[in-house]
Amino acid sequence: MNSVFIWCRDHRLHHRYSDTDGDPHNSKRGFFFCHMGWLMTKKHPYVIELGRRIDMSDLQADWMVMFQKKYYYYLYFLLAIFIPTSVPVYFFGENLWTSLLVCYFARYVLSLNGTWLVNSAAHLYGTRPYDQNLQPVESWFVSLISLGEGWHNYHHAFPWDYKAAELSMHFNQSASIIRFLERIGLAYDLKTASPELVKNRIIRTGDGSHYELGTEEAREAVKISWGPLHPLNPSYNSTLKAPDAILKPGGLPLYHEKDILDADVMKRKTSQA
Ligand SMILES: [Zn+2]
Ligand SMILES: [Zn+2]
């Protein structure tokens, strides 16, 4: 639970210093830490120091973000506790305690844990077809639960792509919602990576497990790409090890400078994608 502003700052920090001590939920510190432990401990000094350097001027200039930050606790009480709890009580005659336990506590515990899987499981258990130098992985399992946020190797390789996945049709309701918002004018200037850009990246830095451009050898390592064992993917993790992450003062570029961004591609409307 936090305001949009604080969430964005932590998320920018997470992308710039992924899986190092500068990352608020550094996955190198284990599953529990990056899942929820990071919210229970004091921040690492690097997180505090590097967090101050993250440019937040765009959000500071946005009145709606700052409004939500300023009145966060009032809005939280109204939208997360009061309305969800009172609707069943008022309209369906539900008992207040039952309503509070189900519509606030149970809902909150389930949705938070689903969201946290993006920081934990999607950094630990899966494949790296886009960039094997990045710790985050592709996980259909996490995508299913988080409505599309589990295609995480792609998301870290192309953090500016609105759909956070190469293919937006698989377990990616988040991308569909953004496209719908674009249609009604609430979202605009959606950025997406061109197929050529993605292809070059897969060939240059991928682990070889890509469904189309991968190699037989790498696919051999990912025998269990489906089925109940997939989230732990034992064959993959023993063949293709997770990369080391070294904290560098500059961090990773938030807008991947290694990829040459074609202005036309960046502006391309998603209807053509
Ligand atoms: Zn992200
Ligand atoms: Zn991540």
CA distances, 140 to each of 151, 230, 232, 267, 270 (Å) = 7, 9, 12, 28, 23
pLDDT attached to residue 43: 94
Distance 152 CA to ligand 2 centre (A): 6
Q: pLDDT band at residue 259, thresholds of 50, 70 and 90?
A: very low
Q: What is the 3-state secondary structure (H, E, C) of 158-205?
A: CCCCCCCCCCCCCCCHHHHHHHHHHHCCCCCCCCCCCHHHHHHHHHHH
Distance 10 CA to ligand 1 centre (A): 10
Q: 179 or 266: which carries more pLDDT confidence?
A: 179
Query: Which protein residues have a CB closer than 5 Å to ligand 2 (ion)?
Result: 136
Q: Looking at residues 8-20, what average pLDDT do you find?
A: 93
User: Cβ(47)–Cβ(70) under 8 Å?
Assistant: no
Q: pLDDT band at residue 139, thresholds of 50, 70 and 90?
A: confident
pLDDT attached to residue 229: 54
Distance 118 CA to ligand 1 centre (A): 9
Distance 100 CA to ligand 2 centre (A): 32
Strand partners, 67: none
Can you say how many angstroms the Cα of residue 81 is from the centroid of all Cα atoms in its chain?
25
Distance 221 CA to ligand 1 centre (A): 27
Distance 155 CA to ligand 1 centre (A): 6
Which tens digit of pLDDT belongs to each residue from 178-229? 999 999 999 998 999 999 999 999 999 998 888 888 888 777 766 655 555 5
Distance 120 CA to ligand 1 centre (A): 13
Give the ligand with the smallest distance to the CA of 24: 2
Which tens digit of pLDDT belongs to each residue from 149-158? 999 999 999 9
Q: pLDDT band at residue 239, thresholds of 50, 70 and 90?
A: low
Distance 236 CA to ligand 1 centre (A): 23
Total residues found in the chain within this entry: 273
Distance 135 CA to ligand 1 centre (A): 13
The reported pTM is 0.84
Distance 48 CA to ligand 2 centre (A): 18
Distance 133 CA to ligand 2 centre (A): 13
Distance 123 CA to ligand 2 centre (A): 6
Can you say how many angstroms the Cα of residue 239 is from the centroid of all Cα atoms in its chain?
25
